[in-house]
Structure 1
Amino acid sequence: MNILIAFIPAIFWGIMPITNVKAGGKPINQILGTTMGAFLVSIVIFFITSPGLSSHALLYGILSGASWAFAQMLQFEAFTEIGVSGAMPISTGLQIIGTSLAGIVLFGEWPKTQTKLIGFLAILIIIVGVYLTTISDKKIVHTDKKVDVKKVVLIFVFQIFGYVGYSVFPTLGDLNGKEAFLPQTIGMVGAALLFSLLPSNLKLKPLFDKNTYSNVLSGILFGIAAFGYLLSAKANGIATGFTISQMNVVLATLLGVYVLKEEKSKRELIFTLVGLVLVVAGGIITTIMPQ
């Protein structure tokens, strides 16, 4: 049952990018709409489960949600610098490495040497698989300005702290998914609102832009995925739970091809299929390896 829970975020995080693309809008519209939708989901779950709302849960949950919003905005910024195809494999790979290492170092997950070796092998396989799914024959110019390499490096360095914080804070505070979820989405919305007050975003008036509210559906999907991930991290551990959640790349890639009609050459399709097989294989390894 715990392993089935671990696949909830993989499914809904896989669908979410498609709804984001369909909804449109700028990064600030997407972050506001997504966090609003997640907040709505958390309210419903809060009243259904009645977990209580302690100051302890508020602190760690808000820190977790704010960390995610911070990382996600940096990811949007990376898209503007090097494009989605350039940013996603780096981002996903760093998330897997950083979050798994945090689970191992901070919480003693994968305690046996044999488990660590197998786990790191699974992570490596997933990273290679994700990279293969992004290989393209097309030369795409993402921006007409010269790429600031130092800026891109800093974006990814700080981004990993945000995504690791999103996973680590609920476990650090020993919170279960039910009590962490509402505070977490409060942190997400709060951070997104702060981002909307930045001069570059304020002039766009994102709170009055229909594209913001078009992205609420993506937020609802994200909310379901995030709640599933909190339950999975508690039941399966951060290292295993997060690694399985990153299998969302399988669904997102297939939906991109068949729903968004993204064209792929024969060579691209072969690399994509091989990459997806590796991602699935790595995820399966983390679920059957000895603990």
Structure 2
Amino acid sequence: MSVQLLLLASLPALGWGLMPIVAKLMGGKSEEQLLGTTIAALIFGSVFGFLNQVSYALVPFSISLLSGVFWACGQYFQFLALEKAEVSKVMPVSVGTQLLFVTLASGFFLKEWTDLTTVIFSIMALGVILTGVFLVTKTTHQQTGLTPQVLLYLCCSSAFLMLYVTVTGLFQISGAQIFMPQAVGMFLGGSVISLKSKQQLHFRKIIRNLGTGSTWVIANTSLFAVSSSLGVGVTYSFSQMSLLVATYGSIILLKEQKVGREKQFVALGSLLYMVGVLGMSWLK
């Protein structure tokens, strides 16, 4: 693997890992963050479709649009969780539950579990991943962990993001046909969600969150570009390292504190998470 390809393969993890950090830095309500992100996605999707002269059929277009709506719902709940808790606590649970839901949905509905051995090793890998997530978010001081409300937000987020990921696979839609209609669905979903708070939204904060959307665009584009060269398994492994970027990035950039043995828990949890993800990608 060349250095250039290795750097490109790291961009999805970097983009998705930095996205919640950038959202915190840009500020604003969840609706403002969501609109800023979806506007950036819509601009990219439109330019991509125009430059590549992509042709669209009704069913793939509709399913990809629905996928984008699911993403908007899932991302909104994640932004709500980030309003109420630290990135280093929210993102490990968010990514871990996404992996759990997507793996189970892929196994049962997309028929990726072809034999008993795959089922057993997938469940083992999930167990290692979730143990890593538990350690990364473990607290040892007076400050409490995630509240039931935040956990509910994250479960709703991961359920919608699971639908976002799997619905196109269920209808075997892939490649360039997805980008533009998916971005339209993201924008439409974000706009409908934001209607209830439209009187309280600030245009300047929405524009600031175009930066949040840019990290998503970088991640999504590079994932598409590198998967054709490295294959889905390797690309998947690299992209799921977004948890490490979000966790350590929030500690460094947002000054989120880890005290005492929490630093050791984060290091051990990160290692277990990496082992579990690499095992999961090997099965794929």
TM-score (norm 2): 0.83
Indicate the RMSD between aligned Cα atoms, in angstroms.
3.1
Give the residue type in structure 1 aligned to 2:53: S
Instruction: Quote the residue 2:175 is aligned against.
Output: 177
1:130 counterpart (121, 124, 133): 133
Give the residue type in structure 2 aligned to 1:96: L
CA distance in structure 2 between the partners assigned to 1:52 and 1:73 by the alignment: 30
CA distance in structure 1 between the partners assigned to 2:125 and 2:183 by the alignment: 31
Give the percent of matched residue pairs that are identical in Structure 1 and Structure 2: 29
Give the residue type in structure 2 aligned to 1:214: R
Give the residue type in structure 2 aligned to 1:102: A
Q: Structure 1, residues 84-134: CA drift from partner, whole Å, max 9, x if none?
A: 666544433321111111111122114132222222222221222122212
Q: Structure 1, residues 238-283: CA drift from partner, whole Å, max 9, x if none?
A: xx97676332111111212222232221311111111111121112
CA distance change for structure 1 residues 125 and 192 in 2, over 3 Å: closer, same or farther?
A: same
TM-score (norm 1): 0.82
- Residue 239 of structure 2 corresponds to residue 236 of structure 1: no
Contact 1:31–1:73 at 8 Å: present in 2 too? yes
Alpha-carbon distance, 1:14 to partner = 1.0
1:186 counterpart (184, 188, 191): 184
1:159 counterpart (126, 147, 157): 157
1:105-124 to structure 2, matched below 5 A, reads 105-124=108-127
CA distance in structure 1 between the partners assigned to 2:89 and 2:248 by the alignment: 19
CA distance in structure 2 between the partners assigned to 1:111 and 1:117 by the alignment: 11
Q: Which shifted more, 221-230 or 116-125?
A: 221-230
CA distance in structure 2 between the partners assigned to 1:272 and 1:154 by the alignment: 23
Instruction: Quote the residue 2:80 is aligned against.
Output: 77
Contact 1:78–1:87 at 8 Å: present in 2 too? yes
CA distance in structure 1 between the partners assigned to 2:57 and 2:21 by the alignment: 36
Contact 1:62–1:184 at 8 Å: present in 2 too? yes
CA distance in structure 2 between the partners assigned to 1:259 and 1:80 by the alignment: 17
Count of residues paired in the alignment: 278
Give the residue type in structure 2 aligned to 1:257: I
- Residue 250 of structure 2 corresponds to residue 252 of structure 1: no
- Residue 59 of structure 2 corresponds to residue 43 of structure 1: no
CA distance in structure 1 between the partners assigned to 2:218 and 2:64 by the alignment: 16
| 3-state SS, counterpart of residue 107 of structure 1 | coil
Q: Which shifted more, 223-232 or 278-287?
A: 223-232
Instruction: Quote the residue 2:107 is aligned against.
Output: 104
CA distance in structure 2 between the partners assigned to 1:51 and 1:36 by the alignment: 20
Q: Which runs of 5 or more residues in structure 2 are unaligned?
A: none
Q: Which runs of 5 or more residues in structure 1 are unaligned?
A: none
Instruction: Quote the residue 2:198 is aligned against.
Output: 202
| 3-state SS, counterpart of residue 255 of structure 2 | coil
